[in-house]
Structures are given as C-alpha cells and as structure tokens.
Amino acid sequence: MRLLLAEAIIFAAVVIVSPATAATPRDICDTTGKAFSIDQRIDGCAALIQASPTDAKAYNGRGNAYQDKGDHDQAIADYTQAIRLDPKYAVAYNNRAYAY
C-alpha cells in the first residue's frame, strides 16, 4: 500500500511539474539539440514557410537543421533566402558564413 501511494504521489508531481503540451511548428523549428529530430525540425520550419513565405526566421531555422544534417548547400540556400527577406538579420549572415 505504501508503495502504491508513493508511486501515485510521484506520478502526480511529474504531471503537475511538467504538463504535456503540444509543440507548435515554431517550437519545433526554433529548437536545436535533441528535443526533436533533424527531419522533424525541417518539417516544422517547412510548415512555417508554407504558412508565411516571408518568415526569415523559419528559413534560418530550417537552414540550421540542414546544417546539422550536413547538407551545407541547402543550409546556405535557406540562409540566403532569410537574408533576402530580412537584410538586417545578422544571425543568418553568421550562420551562412559558418556553412561556407
């Protein structure tokens, strides 16, 4: 009985501390690291680009995912598009330089 009660308390604490939330395409696109796979990040950014073709941050995010995948040419193309859309977007310039 104590074990069952302890398990119930731990379960409740985990649910309260970390509620399950659905990730939006922006969350997925902006994520780096291991929270989402590279292909999930590419798909999340592609969804943002499809919804808003002038979203420079989405192109930059997809470029980051392609860079992580080792597809430097596609990363450079996405960073270049981000720069075309927002010529003052310094992060895209930096990322493109790194990709080169």
* Fold type of domain 22-99: 1.25.40
What does the pLDDT read at residue 20? 43
The per-residue b/e assignment along 66-99, b for 16 or more CB within 10 angstroms, e otherwise, is bbeeebeebbbbbbbbbbebbeebeebeebbeeb
Task: Kindly state the average pLDDT of the residues 70-78.
Answer: 98
Phi-psi region at 26: left, alpha or beta (left = phi > 0; alpha = psi -120 to 50): alpha
Computed on alpha carbons and rounded to an integer, the radius of gyration of the chain in Å comes to 19
Which residue type sits at 46?
Answer: A
Q: Which tens digit of pLDDT belongs to each residue from 4-55? A: 444 544 444 433 444 445 788 888 888 776 789 999 999 999 999 999 999 9
Q: Which tens digit of pLDDT belongs to each residue from 44-73? A: 999 999 999 999 999 999 999 999 999 999
Q: How far from 54 is each of 21, 38, 45, 88, 96, CA to CA, in Å? A: 27, 22, 12, 14, 18
Whole-model pTM?
0.76
What does the pLDDT read at residue 97? 98
